[in-house]
Amino acid sequence: MNCPECGKEINDNDVFCGWCGAEIINSTENTGDDEVAGEKSGRSLKLSKNKSGDKKKTLKIAVRVIAAVIAVVVITILIVYIVNTVKASAGRKIFDSVPLGRDIDIIESTTATAFISGESSAYGALNHIADYDYICESEKSVNVGGIEVPEWAVLLRKSGGDSVGEAVLYNFYVIGHNWMGSKTASNIETSVINFGDSLKSAERTLGLKAYTIVRESESNTSTYVYRYHYVDSESGNTIVKNFYIVVSDVDNQVKDVRDEQLDYLKLILQAE
């Protein structure tokens, strides 16, 4: 190498120039330090990237786990809803297919269901609260206010001779969780339902599910019974009511609306 001051040739390892005495700065050492610093910086950058990547992976796993849990909950709720709907629809399907004005043989043939004659429910409470000539009921039961009753029951009453003029559906499953029915913020005024409304519209306004339906051939009407309860703001007492909507079987429009306050001791299961 040459001295940067005088230009004379000197050894690569010289610290001072032998010709002019100038101090020689060894550039190769600086280059080495720069390389080491660069390597350290590179390693730090890689570690930073790795940590960032690990955090992203952990976040993705957490999101997937949460999504899986939510999916399981949703599926469980859906299954419960479907099972409950199937339970309720079994009795409703039989009830809807009963041809009123016909004798029991034709009704059994049409509904593909065997009815038992006489007040012969397997549950004494049902025999006590209702008069009927024929019955079919769910094999499974539900507890309503401490009383065991079938999840659903279809009762038939003769109107004269051998013809059946009235069919009643009890869906006790609806009030199985609470004999008082759904809880509302306050009393539901009968005026919220308008005469001429469709049943679907009336039920949407009411926000309740019928636990009893009575269909009569003589009047060509069906009476839907809903149960609810609320806490009276003045007395602080819990008020239990049945809400009745009478619908024409001809045009499915509301013909009458009424309600009734219930006494637990006397009317726990009474609907009619």
CA distance 187 to 31: 89
Residue 86, both tokens: 């199937």
Identify each DSSP E strand in 61-210 by its residue range: 116-117, 134-137, 141-144, 147-150, 153-160, 163-170, 182-183
Contact status, residue 1 vs residue 22, Cβ threshold 8 Å? no
- Of the pLDDT bands very low, low, confident and very high (cuts 50, 70, 90), residue 41 is low
Identify each DSSP E strand in the chain by its residue range: 116-117, 134-137, 141-144, 147-150, 153-160, 163-170, 182-183, 212-216, 221-231, 238-248, 254-261
pLDDT at 91 over 60: yes
For 184-238, how does the pLDDT look when each residue is reduced to its tens digit (9 = 90+)? 999 999 999 999 999 999 999 999 999 999 999 999 999 999 999 999 999 999 9
Report the predicted TM-score, pTM, of the whole model to 2 decimal places: 0.67
CA distance 184 to 205: 13
Contact status, residue 239 vs residue 187, Cβ threshold 8 Å? yes
For 135-164, how does the pLDDT look when each residue is reduced to its tens digit (9 = 90+)? 999 999 999 888 899 999 999 999 878 899
User: Based on C-alpha coordinates, what's the Rg of the chain?
Assistant: 41
Give the per-residue pLDDT at 101: 94
pLDDT at 36 over 60: no
CA distance 227 to 78: 25
Give the per-residue pLDDT at 6: 79
